[in-house]
Amino acid sequence: MSKILVGLKRVVDYNVRVRVKPDGTGIVTDGVKMSINPFDEIALEEALRIKEKGAAAEVIVVGIGPADAQQQLRTGLAMGADRAILVQTDATVEPLAAARIFLQLIEKESPQIVLLGKQGIDDDNNQTGQMLAALWNRPQATFASKVELDGAKARITREVDAGLETIEVDLPAVITSDLRLNEPRYVKLPDIMKAKKKPLDVLSIADLGVSTDSQFKTLKYDPPAGRQKGIMVKDVAELVAALKQKGLV
């Protein structure tokens, strides 16, 4: 029976107000709450549902990042994944390097489906799934808001500018999750205890023979401009007058 590989990226929690370092070289992460990238949590939930329907035998969560990324993998195991792989590195891993790492793991594990989030909420690249499908030479179904499996095929409903599009791909394939695919389950305390005993393999980038050399250089981070003070209007007529004065209507 088939396996599903799921990417779990460690990112700053989406509830945290991100602060840019005073010298603009990055964002402040010291003492900041880190979590699973929300799109990846949705990808994992979908993989678990596929397994619960009997269409997969094993769900393997994969993290690429520092030793601390084990925390997010343990959460993934507590949600229900069977085992975890951490490709440990302190280097910045850009989408192409991440895709190359996943390709190496695909060669080891031969999954039927690789489920990734459509984007990381930290760097917003929306590239890893697409690059992986190209490197793997297999179909991709991105922005999935519904996944239906039918033997060796998957029918995916995806959100596009014009509405919803339904496509069918042959498996193995890469699927990337959109926000509306599902609602991830909560982790219960007994599951956290059980997750401590589940296998978590740690590999190095060197084990996989992949380079993390950068394709681009980030020059500077700028915080968004602060919001201007608003004004209170007493009725619609005053609102319209104020908008007219600003040339907005």
Residue 160 near ligand FAD by CB under 6 A: yes
Q: How far is the CB of 158 from ligand FAD (least distance, A)?
A: 8
Assess 159 for contact with ligand FAD (CB under 6 A). yes
| Sole window of 39-47, 50-58, 158-166, 183-191 interacting with ligand FAD (rule: CB under 6 A) | 158-166
Least CB distance from residue 181 to ligand FAD, whole Å? 12
- Between 42 and 78, CB nearer to ligand FAD: 42
Closest residue to ligand FAD, based on beta-carbon distance = 159
Give 119's Cβ-side CA count (13 Å radius): 9
Of 75 and 142, which CB lies nearer to ligand FAD in the complex structure? Answer: 142
The window from 154-162, 180-188, 203-211, 215-223 that contacts ligand FAD (CB under 6 A) reads 154-162
Tell me how far, at minimum, the Cβ of 64 lies from ligand FAD, in Å. Answer: 25
**Nearest by Cα to 69 from 37, 46, 38:** 37
40: contact with ligand FAD by CB under 6 A = no
Give the one residue of 161, 183, 213, 222 binding ligand FAD; rule: CB under 6 A.
161
Stretch that binds ligand FAD, among 40-48, 82-90, 153-161, 201-209 (CB under 6 A): 153-161
Judged by CB under 6 A, the chain residues 80 through 139 that form the site for ligand FAD are: none
- Number of shown-chain residues binding ligand FAD (CB under 6 A): 4
List the Cα angle 221/223/228 in 5-degree steps.
155
**At closest approach, how far in Å is the CB of 161 from ligand FAD?**
5
Q: Give min distance, CB of 165 to ligand FAD, in A.
A: 9
Cis peptide before 172 (omega within 30 of 0): yes
Query: What are the C-alpha distances in Å from 107 to residues 13, 206, 208?
Result: 32, 16, 10
139/129 Cα distance (integer angstroms): 10
The contact set with ligand FAD (CB under 6 A) reads: 143, 159-161
